Structure 1
């Protein structure tokens, strides 16, 4: 007997939703023969889990945690309290469903040591045999509009640092580096124009500059309490050398690929942050100077000149996770949530709606890892918005107006 199950979402082939939206769709069951069931159940759940092990001397310790954000159960046919056997006739059967997402859902994420996952699962309940499960993953994104997160994201960012190097019994003169960004917030698809000024007053040359956009993922466990950090380079670029006793300025574009948005507050088990790293290599000394600067990756871009970004409506209710929750706690009920528009993107025709792509730097998850009798695809990867829009103009400083010159004096 062959039974197939398809879960489709209304006007959303890519299965991408923003927190606060209504998830609605249709379940289509196809059977070539009559089939007996106790009930047909649809579960829509959202949760985060972390799991890893670490070896301490002769023992291996397991760390794990779980946090739930959404739990919706709908019986499409029958119920678990019903003890009678119901029959599904041969043919095609359709069932409609709808579920409201909480406003404070963290963005979907699949990582090496944990995940933030949202799934819709249809189960054919058959206590006399075994349950059949059909699971479909879908993407939920935090509505992170860079225009309304914090004013600091719109401002130019600046950082500088000095370092001396040991060369035998002596120390070199300082090597100074300056980093300049036109703003601190970006979206995938944009290029970050990084202006780097290197004032090299040492007697050795800087052989190369290396730029990286790094995703930092911190995983937390509950039993026992512990954490670990994963570091993933999502974008790279290189700059030219800088001669000794000279200053050089260069602006290097660093592409932001499809990647999860910054998330530091909504999930207690997984935090995602980004930082820009610039490394000046001095091969003759086998040393380097590294500077870092935090950046924020959002889902809706900052407004640029001539482009108006419409602020999404505010909601009157939201989900707040209890600080101490166990698996038996009842999930909070979310009510009075205003409708969220489907187009949560800049309203100007100058910027088209984003495309949605899978991240190349995170893993694919097994959404059926908890099921013994699962049917359909196991692998799932969230999709993230990627824009085709102009990048901000680079910052020009007194030092950066010069491509390069020989140092006459050096002042800190």
Structure 2
């Protein structure tokens, strides 16, 4: 029987690194093969392949309908991102079965992922999953199934103007005890940018003023919020990803954080484009005030997948303003630039500054009218001036001071 002759039936995906799980992005091609190992000659039916990907959410809530009755209500929804079908082995029209000899047989397949996919995710009330499933139909036997999951990681580039913008905020809160005002606590915080990648360190710049009569404790934490949406109802799950605790601040004192470091652990990227599942992050700076609720200040974060390039936010902001491709600039600047020449080697003591040529007013105004990077590129390809022992700008006779012969 075929059940005894089918030794192996599996789906394999092509991956550059064998040990690493296959990871893809939207628009990429997924290739692999369905492997059959037979111990003897076997009669097979059709072999179908189904690639599928979807986001699902589901949870239940107990609601009270009276003093002694209660009922359970379920919430669920699903969004389909991928659904492709292929026939890898079709039986002939005459017999309806295909006879394969003993040994190993491979059936290759390939398909392209569509655009606008969501990153793979596993949460408490929902998930985003992708897989490839193969079905082998056999005469007079049950259908054999093989399944292989793969990961989709949608790129989030933090080198965009929106994610490179600094984030700042300020809040204050009065400290009350027994309806009496005990002063107030204020906090102001700032971070360099909105987008970060796992493994980076967030430098926190904060200032906490304690104008109360008791000491307070400042804290900072990265909060992950998972939001699940179904039938117009939301279900959220919040968790602390990383946190730090500052030193207590005495009454009437001020504490300043000069870039207090908070490292981002390995976490999943933000999911903002899925209709039923959102994964968001915030940096929360809070102050524990005795006798009253905490003072909370939240700064939004986006966890991306493409890290900050070597030029940092300054180059990104300039390039976004002028929409210029900076590949030539990155290739032209060496890793270790040469030191600039000394001032004495450019202007000697015998040549006063007044005698240096000054730019014409018309030329100076026309330089700043065109695009900024056009002049950088022009300067980059301009050859250096020729060396000469003759001063191209000799001092005029009127500026030469006569010497006294008797001295």
Q: What residue in structure 2 maps to residue 301 of structure 1? A: 307
Cα deviation code 1:224-275 (max 9, x no counterpart): 432211112222222221111011112332222222222222x211111111
Equivalent in 271, 275, 280 of residue 263 of structure 1:
271
Cα deviation code 1:309-332 (max 9, x no counterpart): 9xxxxxxxxxxxxxxxxxxxxxxx
C-alpha RMSD of the superposition: 2.8
CA–CA distance in structure 2, aligned partners of residues 249 and 46 of structure 1: 49
Write out aligned runs for 1:64-213 (5 A). 64-78=76-90, 84-126=96-138, 128-148=140-160, 151-206=161-216, 208-213=217-222
SS at match of 1:146: coil
Matched, 1:253 2:261: yes
Q: What residue in structure 1 maps to residue 390 of structure 2? A: none
Q: What residue in structure 2 maps to residue 236 of structure 1? A: 243
SS at match of 1:174: strand
Q: What residue in structure 2 maps to residue 7 of structure 1? A: 12
Contiguous gaps of at least 5 residues in structure 1: 310-345, 351-412
Report if aligned partners of 1:4, 1:31 keep a CA contact under 8 Å in 2.
no
Deviates more, 1:12-21 or 1:153-162: 12-21
Deviates more, 1:187-196 or 1:31-40: 31-40
> Which of 1 and 2 has higher RCO (CA within 8 Å, sep 6+)?
1
CA–CA distance in structure 1, aligned partners of residues 121 and 215 of structure 2: 42
Report if aligned partners of 2:214, 2:250 keep a CA contact under 8 Å in 1.
yes
SS at match of 2:162: helix
CA–CA distance in structure 2, aligned partners of residues 233 and 32 of structure 1: 54
Q: What residue in structure 1 maps to residue 402 of structure 2? A: none
Write out aligned runs for 1:13-92 (5 A). 13=18, 14-57=21-64, 58-78=70-90, 84-92=96-104
CA–CA distance in structure 1, aligned partners of residues 220 and 140 of structure 2: 60
CA–CA distance in structure 2, aligned partners of residues 289 and 220 of structure 1: 29
Q: TM-score, normalised by structure 1?
A: 0.68
Cα deviation code 1:47-91 (max 9, x no counterpart): 111111111121111111111111111222116999823344332
CA–CA distance in structure 2, aligned partners of residues 292 and 349 of structure 1: 40
Q: Which has the higher helix share?
A: 2
Change (3 A) 1:127 1:73: farther
SS at match of 1:172: strand
Which structure's CA Rg is the greater one? 2
Q: Structure 1 runs of 4+ off > 4 angstroms?
A: 79-83, 306-309, 346-350
Cα deviation code 1:92-118 (max 9, x no counterpart): 111221111112111111111111111
Change (3 A) 1:64 1:306: closer
Q: Alpha-carbon deviation of 1:139?
A: 0.8
Change (3 A) 1:83 1:211: farther
Write out aligned runs for 1:363-382 (5 A). none
Report if aligned partners of 2:13, 2:30 keep a CA contact under 8 Å in 1.
no
